[in-house]
Amino acid sequence: MGRENPKRGSSADEHKTRGKSRAAVAKIESDRKRKNSSISSADRKPSTTTREKERDKSHKKKPKMSSANQVRASHILIKHQGSRRKASWKDPEGRVINNTTKDSAISQLKAIREDIVSGKIKFDEVASRVSDCSSAKRGGDLGPFGRGQMQKPFEEATYALKVGEISDIVETDSGVHIIMRTG
C-alpha cells in the first residue's frame, strides 16, 4: 500500500488543504481584479440580474467600444443621507454620510469647485482627500469609459464637457459630484 510521509500528513488532509488554498488563491485573485478596475463601483450603473444579462446577449451583440467613443474623467464624490450606499473608503460605517444632508454636500462641493477654478487647490489633490469614491486613491481618475457604463446624469455631464472643463454639481444615486473631463 501507499506510504504516508509523516511531514505531509494523510492524503485526505492534504486534499483538504489544497482545496482551501485554491479557494483562498481564487478569492485573492478576484479581490485583486476588483481593486484594479479603473471604474469605481460607486459610479457604475446598478447591476442587472442574470436573466436580464442573458436576454440582452441574445437580442443583440454590442460592438466593442472603440477609444473614439470613450471619454476619460476624474471626479469628486460626496455622499449624503440620500445616497444609495451610505459607506465609503473613508467612512466605512457611514457615520458621517448618514449625518450629511444633500444641501450640505452640495455646499461643500461648490466651495471646492471655486477653489479649484481659482487655482487655490488642484483637482487631484482635493479628490484624494475629500472624495467618497475609491477613485480618490488615483486623484479621482476613473479612467476611460463609454456610453452606458455610468449612471445617466454622470455620463451626460461628462460627455457635455470639453477636455479640461469642470462640471457644475451633478447629482446621481451615488451622491453629488463635480467632474473634470480629462480625455
Q: What is the pLDDT of residues 69-80, one digit of tens each?
A: 999 999 999 999
Measured CA to CA, the distance from residue 76 to residue 176 in angstroms comes to: 8
Q: Is the pTM of this model over 0.85?
A: no
> Across the strands, what pairs with 88?
91
133 carries an active-site annotation: yes
Measured CA to CA, the distance from residue 97 to residue 81 in angstroms comes to: 6
Q: How confident is the model at residue 32 (pLDDT cuts 50, 70, 90)?
A: low
Q: Could you tell me which CATH class the domain 69-181 is placed in?
A: alpha beta
179 in Cβ contact with 162 (< 8 Å): no
Beta-carbon count within 10 A of 153 CB: 13
User: Locate cell 460626496: which residue?
Assistant: 78
The grid cell for 148 is: 452606458
Reported as a single tens digit per residue, the pLDDT across 51-103 is 555 555 544 444 444 567 999 999 999 999 999 999 999 999 999 999 999 99
Which of 133, 134, 135, 167 is the catalytic position?
133
